[in-house]
Amino acid sequence: MASIHPPRSNDWATRRAPDLDAFEELASETLAQLPGEFLTRCGNLQISLADYAPDEILDEMGIEDPFELLGLFEGSPFTEEAASMVTGQMPNRIWLFRRAILDYWAANDESLGEIVAHVLIHEIGHHFGLSDADMERIEAAVGD
């Protein structure tokens, strides 16, 4: 009979999937690395976390599998015209969906921090109305 040894403290046997607080920390670390002028222009952009996208959002987007949506930008892209928000308009919001991101992490060869940063920067890019090329350049700058 094989003996079972207690797990070492750095063993995966004792670790749990990161919770929403850990995701908030990863997102905060990413935001702290963004260029100051970029972060300043984010203004009152809200960042929210949830395990999955709500069913109504998935239905509206025609997505059947909640694991397909890692993040979401809600609101109007930031432009010179949109800078003067209409009274009563809700601030723009970015959603990060923990379980979908964890599923993506498990299936790919990237660190969790890299994935969270990628999704967050991509969604911030939508806030600014940036192109995919712009978003890739910003993400590369964060990685330096």
The CA-atom distances, in angstroms, between 112 and each of 96, 117, 118 are: 13, 9, 10
Q: Is residue 4 a part of any domain in this protein?
A: no
Residue 81, pLDDT score: 45
Whether residue 101 is contained in a domain is answered as yes
With the CA atoms of 72, 103, 101 and 13 taken in that order, what torsion angle do they form, in degrees rounded to the nearest 10?
A: 160
Do the domain assignments include residue 88? Answer: yes
Pick 10 or 51 by higher pLDDT: 51
Q: Is residue 115 part of a domain?
A: yes
The reply to whether 1 falls in a domain is no
Tell me which amino acid residue 7 is.
P
| CATH number of the domain enclosing 39 | 3.30.2010.20
Residue 51's pLDDT is 97
Domain of 59 in residue numbering reads as 17-143
Number of domains composing the chain: 1
User: Which pLDDT tens digit goes with each residue over 43-89?
Assistant: 788 999 999 999 999 999 999 999 999 999 998 887 644 555 555 56
In-domain check, residue 9: no
Rg (CA), the chain: 18
Structure tokens at 135: 């978003």
pLDDT averaged over the chain?
A: 84
- Read off the tokens for 30: 């990413």
For CA atoms 26, 27, 28, 34, the dihedral sign is positive
Torsion over CA: 109, 113, 118, 120 (sign): positive
Please check whether residue 10 lies inside any domain of the structure: no
